A and B are shown apart, each in its own frame.
Chain A
Amino acid sequence: MTQAMSAFFEALRQKFGAQIQSISTDREDEVYLLVGDSDIRALAEYLRSEFDARLVTVFAEDRRSAESVFFNYYVFERKGDTRYLIVRAPVHADHPEFPSLSAGLPAVNWQEREIQDWFGLKAVGHPNPRRVAMHDNWPDVHPLRKDFPLGTVLPPFEGERHIYRPALGEGVFQVPVGPVHAGTIEPGHFNFAVAGEPILYLQLRMFYTHKGTEKLFEKLPIQKAVFLAESISGDSSFSHGTAFCQAIERAAQMEVPLRALIMRTILLELERICNHVADIGAIANDVGFVVANAHASRLKEMLVSLNEQLTGNRLLRGMVCVGGVRRGWDAVQLVALRAAIEVFASEFQDLVALIDSSESTRDRLEQTGVLRPEKAKDLGIVGVVGRASGVDLDVRRDHPYAAYGRYSFRVPVYQVGDVTHRMQVRGDEVRESLGIIRGAADESLHGDFRAQVPPIPADRCALSAVEGWRGEIIHWIRTGPDNHLERCKIKDPSLNNWPALVEAVQGNIIADFPVINKSFNLSYSGTDR
């Protein structure tokens, strides 16, 4: 431990010595802080005010059979520190409550309510303690408790799914939309309160695609669970797959061959480019610039074909595995990669120029759907949306993984927070990604691409983070016996970012909602799991 690091822990010990029971590190960049009770409000406030620490995610675990309590986990990170600080706080089974942090930290509003719904632990003092992850018509069950079997057949649902807050006033209407939408998109319900055209207030009802994913992870052997990880959010198959495999590799304390790390880096960036270029086209499409979308979707198709040539699957599925990647690339594949990247790079310039040359497109996007930097920070917004609103976060730079430490790249950050800048961030990132891929493809890709996986010991915890194309993906696991998991927590960046959409649409006309929503392009499945 370096001096600066130990000074940080010294300060914590001095201030919270009575509460902190132990500080442990299985791996250098992952520090666990066990505290004596469930009230971590003072500690969280201290970390935030003194160290500008960000609360990355909050989740729970049912440890009643092994340790006779539940645990809440609070993951923090600080600028300039590659470690994650994980506070582990017990919640007693006979008194299943914990003090809520949401009033001061709106970023964890939904995540604390998930703990309420899934574990039956009450977040005391939560400003809006209604259900979030389970709809109101669900019976009173807590699926992530260990005594709830995965295959439970729930009785038919009864009553209202969700009671929306009424919006009252002269000329105020409420417009319900979804869960089945007009286009080919995922299901969710939006309730707009409008006065004339402008949106006064948007209420979201998500979790329509909740399919028991976290619970299912506890059932599958680890090697099969990789495929479940790839199905958390189809457009981020490789990112989620990699995040999961990394977590297992960290728990097993194994080394992954450099060649595999470089290949993962290339594929992670390909996934980013694929989605960014499609989003740029779709944003243009939503304001009527159909030709731009035609070119963008053609470019995406080009990359998706390249994906298939490199991995056998258009969504990059079935490539990543625990210990590395499943196949190496031959010379033909590498030539195809380099060639496709150069063709794409030049075509992408044309696409951007085409959109830039359209004044009417620019006019529709500028100052549309603004998310102010202070709001973004309060709400804990991450990824593309965050970087367009001044939130300077990128896991690739802040907590390097795969082979990102070997390449230099810029992280674009803007303060304006409108649709234009969310598009700008994507454009900038595409160019940076191309640079990373060029650098990585020039390395000598020889040697092993897959390490032998040692037997994975039970009861190991590991946190893994990946900067998916949307933003920060977190997987946290506890291993169990016989190559199974006791717990797998998934946090998709969409979960952080939905509340920001509510902010960004306010005052905009309802006809601009599609383009604002598209500029966020959040994953429903990643949120709902």
Chain B
Amino acid sequence: MSPTKKDLPPYTDYTFDMFIKSAGKDHAEITQFNEWRRQVLGADMYTFQIPHLGAQRPEVSVQRVSGDRLDLISLSSYNYLGYSYHPEVLAAAKEALDLYGLGATGSPVLNGTFRIHEVLEDKLIEFFGMPGYGVSLFSSGYGANIGVVSAYAHKGDVVVLDRLSHASLVDGAILSQATVKLFKHNDAEHLDRVLSRLDHKNLRILVCTEGVYSADGDTGHVKDIVRVSKKYGATVLVDEAHSLLIAGENGRGVSEEQGVLDEVDMIIATFSKSFGGVGGCLFAREELTNYVNWYARSRMFSCALDPAVTGGLIKALELAGGPDGKVKRERIKANADYLRSLLQGEVDIGNSHSWIIPVIFGDEHLYIPLSDYLQREGVDASLMSFPAVPKNQSRIRLFVTSEHTKAQLERGAEVILKAAEHFGFLLEN
């Protein structure tokens, strides 16, 4: 029988938002958060920050706080094309490590830029096939978004965000001190209404959207958003974090897939997903990247990209831009369709058409017990709950890669459906 709310321990009553801040000077949020964490740990239900004992392959081993070692099917990694452990990528990283050492040990604007960084920039421009464009490298995807948005928009400007924008875009907007406006998720008509109310003839406006949204796995309506934004003279930024190297005929993202790559003003890429490394970049007209190189504070005041990672990224990009990438792009889409077919009609998988498949289980009280159950039954999955998603819309997010075998996906689906039966979120037929 599935557990009801009254069967669940008190620590399941709490959500992330409840410990963010406390009134008064005593920082009670720290005390209360640690008390909650102690309770979850005490019950051996703490599934967060679980150490993985090897690379992010389709099958991983992890070690629980209790010391238990678990072998799991991984459906939680953003290593979409398997490049984080590809032998050629690793060989390139090792070569760069030997040549340049462990870290860049300096700001990219000062002493931290190596020849290998310039090679990566050139390879990215070549990959996009757009002369006159430039690349601004960042040591994280988060840093790229906060740095670019806050370098481009300032007090008196307006940043217009999709309601489901990633935290890095929201934080960039806050840091910029611009006025922030929101439009309904993927709703170009509502964006039109928001922009029409602004003094668009005089204001600088930056509209931000994403290629693929990771909460629902849905694709951004980039073409419509570009059309509406241009009508009001607004600049468009597309974060292709979950779509670059995968979406589009050549892997240039959803902007390519929807035929608007040359109309988008700024593309943000993340290297920690399909590239298999870490870092991020802005791809835009060269005059803009030149400026961002200097005025994005998260770039200026961070160390440059790790040289070994940079070597690996160059190789991953080279592979993704060639026959290997074409095969992997086809395979990840086929794998995602296959996993969807195993779950469709049994559980609520929303409207995802991408390689991110949500399985909606609803009640946020189930978050911790379900996460623990999935690990113990053999699946490494990524759960999401209020306030990241609406109340009663908590979900398991399944990240499919090109490297999963059918057998691994079948095993993953079997565990998800077993969990759905146990926790009562199987669809009623």
Q: Are A and B physically bound partners?
A: no
Please give the residue numbers on chain A whose beta carbons come within 8 Å of chain B beta carbons, in ascending order. none
